Structure 1
């Protein structure tokens, strides 16, 4: 499986944390990311249930012609095992949208490489 591990785009500050939306710049970044990933023949998009991750995932899913699916296992604190369970059986090319430091820790666990995960960035790995 090709897996794109995506950190949500830039979110507005505020409380409660789970309801923080993307900023205007974050929405633009999510659209640009969606255009980039649309060429990858994405089979599924899964995301954290938090609003900023869902908004990022929705942009990617629209561009890919699929429905984004929130998954509680991808909420902040997600582990590599949570991710494996969330993407299992969803196709050959899957996008997962989550949070930092989870994205960095998951990619490190999978490929042994530390990568910076700025908002709206991603890493491609093979499961």
Structure 2
């Protein structure tokens, strides 16, 4: 199974939290990353997005169908994300657009077995692959990319 974690792009500081919108820089980050992901994702990729406005605005430029998953809202735990995407048993590639610190905790949990508070930069993507669902030793980190690394 391929699991891709995409942190939302830069958002304004405002209240209520779920209504925070992307900044102009955030829209640019989202477009850049969406363009790159659009060339990398398989056709059958399932996309799950937090109900927060900033995550929906982050994923929209990709131009694919996505599902808003309340279980991915700010404050969710790493196991909430893994259960939602059926890790590691899903047959298709899954993209999750979410928040810190949860995405960093998922990354740490997958790579170390513990949900440490690892930082994932805004608009960055971490791409994991586990070749065999029942074999944690078949897990590897395929890519970590930020919008700044994407060259046009």
- TM-score tier by shorter-chain length is 0.7 to 0.9
Following superposition of structure 1 onto structure 2, how do residues 1-127 of structure 1 map, counting pairs within 5 Å? 1-42=1-42, 43-60=45-62, 62=63, 66-88=64-86, 91-112=91-112, 115-127=118-130
TM-score w.r.t. structure 2 length?
0.73
Q: 1:85 to 1:27 in 2, by over 3 A?
A: same
Structure 2, unaligned runs of 5 or more: 131-152
Give yes or no for contact 1:2–1:126 (8 Å, CA) kept in 2.
yes
Q: Which has the higher helix share?
A: 1
Pairwise CA RMSD: 1.9
Larger Rg: 2
1:57-111 deviation per Cα after TM superposition (whole angstroms, max 9, x unaligned): 2223x1xxx2121101111122232112222376522210111111111110011
1:30 is displaced (CA, Å) by 0.3
Instruction: Indicate conservation of the 8 Å contact 2:5/2:125, yes or no.
Output: yes
> Which has the bigger relative contact order, CA under 8 A and spacing at least 6?
1
